[in-house]
Every structure is written in C-alpha cells, then in structure tokens.
Amino acid sequence: MRLKSGRGIALFILCAWMIFTIFPFFWALLTSLKPPVQAAEIPPKLVFKPDFSNYVAVLFGGKGGFYTIVQEGFFKFFLNSFSVASLTTLLTLLLGTMSSYYLSRTKIGGEKFNLWILSFRMMPPIAVIIPFYIMLSFIGLVDSIFSLVLIYTIFNLPLSIWFISAYIDSIPESYEQMALIDGHSRWGVFWRIIVPMAKPAILISGLLVFIFSWNEFLFALILTGFKSKTLPVLATGFITQRGIIWGQLTATAIIITIPIFLLTLFTQKYLIKGLSLGIKN
C-alpha cells in the first residue's frame, strides 16, 4: 500500500532525518581514526590519512604521553560489561518469565496492575541509590558486578513482566490444561510449553535488558570501583583535568556500540512483532 501523493516531501524528510541521525556516528568514527593530536584541531579536518593508534591505545594500553593517557585493562572492563549485561538479562528473564506466567494465568491485573508496573519505572535513580549504596556496603558488595546486576534487574523486571505476561495472555491455556491433566507439574509445563511459545517476547525483553545494562551509566559510575568498572564509565575516564582525549574517547564509544549494533541487527524482526503484540494488550 504505497501512497503516491506526497512522496517527494516524505522522502525529503526521511533523508534529512537520516543524515541527522547518521552524522554524529560518522563524525565519531572519523575522529577516532585521526591521530590523537588532530582531534582538537581548528578547523576540523575532513580529509586525512586513517590512523588506528587510538584503537590500539584503547584496546591494548600503550605508552602514555602528555596527550595520551593510558587506561589499562580494556578487556577486563569489556568482560565486566558483558558479565553484568548477561547476568542481568538471565536473571531478569528467569524471574520475569516465571512471574509473568503466574500473573497471566491467575488473572491478577488489568489497568491497575499496569500502572503499578509503570510506577517502578518512575522511580528516580537518585531516590534508591543512596539507601541502596548503604545497604550494599553493609553486605560488602560495593565494588562488585553483582551490585549492578541486582539493581539493573530491579529496573528491568517491571517492563519485562509487562511484555511477557501480555504475550503469555495470548497463549491459549488448553495446552497446559492437557499437560496438567496428564500429570505434569507446573514447572514442567513452564519449561516445556510456555517458554518455547513465548520466545518472541522473551527475546525482545532480553534484548532491551541487555542494551540497558550494557549502556547504563549513573549507577555504574557510583557503584563501581576498579574491579567492576564497566565500559561506559571507562569512556568518561578520558575526561581528564587537562582536557578530553577525544581520539580515544570516540574510539571507545564506537567499540562499545558495535556489539549492541550487531545484536539489534540480528533480532530486529522479533523486535517489531513483539512490541506490537505487547502493546495491544
């Protein structure tokens, strides 16, 4: 159903917006490929010979000069980010799907329930972070990735439950009834029937949770130390008192974005389908 009229304007708007969207990425990429000193040149150069020293410096450390600080241990932080994101996603999906199943089948909910879920999202991070911080230091979990996993799970559970339970609502109960009558336990039904059928919703929630945990900054800034630092915090480490090391910073930004970009690419079709189903309910 393509429209004919207004096509010109529509395409123009689309193109303009696409340029607007892509340009910052393009510029960041360009900057990361410049030799470190050129990043702050006046006026900015558009044509130059590509230089990968920024990436080398970020990934492998390197010698420090006055304009090149060295943040060591990139791979450790990459691992931290990855661990946090994966663990959060696993935990959220596990708890989320379990609760969704329960909530969907026992029909608790409706409008009020949705609002309650939404209200969790409304919580300003600052409100919980201080008591949370105090609690964590009590248990001794401050500079640990588990603290991030805990708090990210809390933030993502409501939305995941929302999506997944909406999807489960659309799965007819007949399959479970049959299985239960046959003597299977709820747990078995859960794993063998519900989870496979709810895959799209689970996948999407998983994707969104992973992206959130991967990119999150405020909590990571406050709650992590040196052992558990994640990539976004690493990026801000290039803001030194002397100045901002743009070359390495943009390189870091690009490196951080690539995994998510790939992930989004592969799961795109599920994204739209799942969103539409989730929101209809």
Binders in 228-267 for another protein, by CB under 8 A: 231-232, 235-237, 239-244, 246, 249-250, 252-253, 256-257, 260-261, 263-265
95 lies in the binding site for another protein (CB under 8 A): yes
Three-state DSSP at 82 gives helix
E strand or H helix at 148: helix 145-169
Given 7, 56, 61, 199, the residue binding another protein (CB under 8 A): 7
84 lies in the binding site for another protein (CB under 8 A): no
Binding piece for another protein, criterion CB under 8 A, among 52-60, 127-135, 163-171, 195-203: 127-135
CB of 199 to another protein, least distance (A): 17
Q: Rank residues 206 and 232 by Cβ distance to another protein and give the closer one.
A: 232
16 lies in the binding site for another protein (CB under 8 A): no
Q: Rank residues 86 and 144 by Cβ distance to another protein and give the closer one.
A: 144
For 27-59, b/e burial (b = at least 16 CB within 10 A) is ebebbbbbebeebeeeeeeeeeeeeebbbebbe
Site size for another protein, by CB under 8 A? 119
Q: Rank residues 12 and 75 by Cβ distance to another protein and give the closer one.
A: 12
Binding piece for another protein, criterion CB under 8 A, among 35-43, 50-58, 164-172, 195-203: 35-43
47 lies in the binding site for another protein (CB under 8 A): no
Q: What's the start-to-end Cα distance of the chain, in Å?
A: 26
Structure tokens at 267: 């799961």
CB of 219 to another protein, least distance (A): 11
DSSP state at residue 42? S
- Restricting to residues 97-126, name those near another protein by CB under 8 A: 98-99, 101-103, 105-106, 118-126
178 lies in the binding site for another protein (CB under 8 A): no
Q: Rank residues 193 and 260 by Cβ distance to another protein and give the closer one.
A: 260
Q: Could you give the C-alpha distances from 147 to 84, 104, 152, 242, in angstroms and in order?
A: 9, 30, 9, 32
Bond into 259 cis (ω within 30): no
CB-based burial label for 128 (10 Å; 0-12, 13-18, 19+): middle
Structure tokens at 137: 């230091």
